[in-house]
Chains A and B, each alone.
Chain A
Amino acid sequence: MSEEPQVRYFDHAATSWPKPPEVMEAVARALTEAGGNPGRGAHRLALSAARTIAAARGSLARLLGVPDERDLIFTAGCTHGLNLVLKGTLVPGDRVVVSSVEHNAVVRPLAALARVGVEVVRVPADAEGRVEADEFERLVALAPTRMVVCQHASNVTGTIQAIGDVADIAHAHGATLVVDGAQAAGHIPVDLAALGADAYAVPGHKGLLGPQGVGALYLSPVLEPAELMQGGSGGRSEDERQPTARPDRYEAGTCNTPGIAGLGAGAEFLLAHGEEIRATERALTRRLHEGLAALPGVRVIGPPPAAPRAPVVSIVHERVAPDELAFALDRRYGIAVRGGLHCSPWTHEAIGTLDTGAVRFGLGWGLTEDDVDAAIAAVAEVCR
């Protein structure tokens, strides 16, 4: 029986792996000495759990530049946060202008809202997955617009959108800006105090290095979406109405304390090492991009190697199908990548790969030059 190859993990855009030891220790602590129910009761385990959540909220707020921690809501993930702000804000008759490179975390909630009378207008993108601010301006100015939605970075091409410009356009026309930060948070600097987004959703388990099943949503004070759920909050128990104070309004039910603890530890890890991690990711991404682009028959989609991008490199080969290549890389070389449409059919449509899909390499913490060189050599062999 042949030996299993060493795992070389290039699927950080789906979820980061491995996690820093500090993250795993924080999760374990939340299940042991901080194992009470946060905000429910004042015994030492409950207080410890509540303090764990407060500390995590503070760490994440510092990392993302959130001025008031109370505006940072813990969610079950980025998709949850996006659903909250979209469905809690938009009503039939509203108009929303959205980039045409969104992930299904935005596409599907908007499709559901369109079915009940929300007008959804798509802004076209170029072949690199970039949406021009001028196009946003043109379409937002056409009719009264309640909301603009734009991702910060693409999970297919790595393209980084000009969020500051889009925010200015939205605000100039009386709209609010909602941003999907799934591929940006942890991978590129995010300063929400300066960015201009009115809502910004992040997952905990990708670039923020936390566990799955947890995320966060920043809601600026100008946005007051209706909560998706009502339930226990630990206070005002005699009142049948959901509390209006943040963050409790949007965190009905017992929080995912172990997940939040891990996310907080991930945020602390990035506060300490983020600059170094991002520099390594940029260098490795460029090395991979240039190495793959030099292989016969391989086309790298998205921006050129020197352009700013999230650490994602997707390729198509003229002969080898993405699913075939992804399977061979895993089975023969231990290289974990993702083939297909990456839950982003709009993006693949915009860049012309809807029929074929692509093989995506998502880079992140833990990868080395040796991993990148091994990946390039493996693609060369499979596609020979």
Chain B
Amino acid sequence: MSGTQARFAVFGFDSTHDALKAESLLLSAAEEVALIPTPRVLGTLCGFAVRVPAERQDAALDVMADGGLIPTGYAEIDDRT
């Protein structure tokens, strides 16, 4: 596998709609964001989760809160970039 291992914050949501809304809000705020299959550690909320660099966790939460979104799950994972 290629890529560099890094630490990420992952947010889970109740619905696909909310996960996509989160992605849209974070992209608009120029945050580095990826949609990934929901890690098992989050249970099985919506089928995909929002991943941001761990150091951007608080900034991402602020952006989502400003858009009226509160994640329903959170985890930190090591992942490939």
Contacts and interface: CB of A to CB of B under 8 A. Distances in A.
B33 interface: no
B16 interface: yes
Contact of A235 (B14, B20, B21): B14
Interface of B: 14-18, 20-21, 24, 35-38, 43-48
A129 B16 CA distance: 43
A203 to B, nearest CB: 22
Contacts of A246: 15
Interface in A44-89: 47, 50-51, 53-54, 57, 69-70
A50 B16 contact: yes
A32 interface: no
Given A70-B15, A238-B43, 4 more contacts: A39-B16, A42-B48, A47-B48, A235-B15
A246 B15 CA distance: 8
Contact of A39 (B24, B36, B44, B46): B46
B16 to A, nearest CB: 4
A42 B16 contact: no
14 contacts: A39-B16, A41-B37, A42-B35, A42-B36, A42-B47, A47-B35, A57-B17, A70-B18, A234-B16, A234-B47, A236-B43, A236-B44, A245-B15, A247-B15
A70 B38 CA distance: 21
Given A42-B36, A42-B37, A247 B48 contact: no
A50 B19 CA distance: 10
A234 B46 contact: yes
Contacts of B14: 235-236, 243, 245, 248
Interface string A228-269: 000001111110000101111000000000000000000000
Contacts of B37: 41-42
Contact of B44 (A50, A51, A54, A237): A237
A54 B48 contact: no
A235 B42 CA distance: 11
A238 B24 CA distance: 28
A42 to B, nearest CB: 4
A237 B42 CA distance: 12
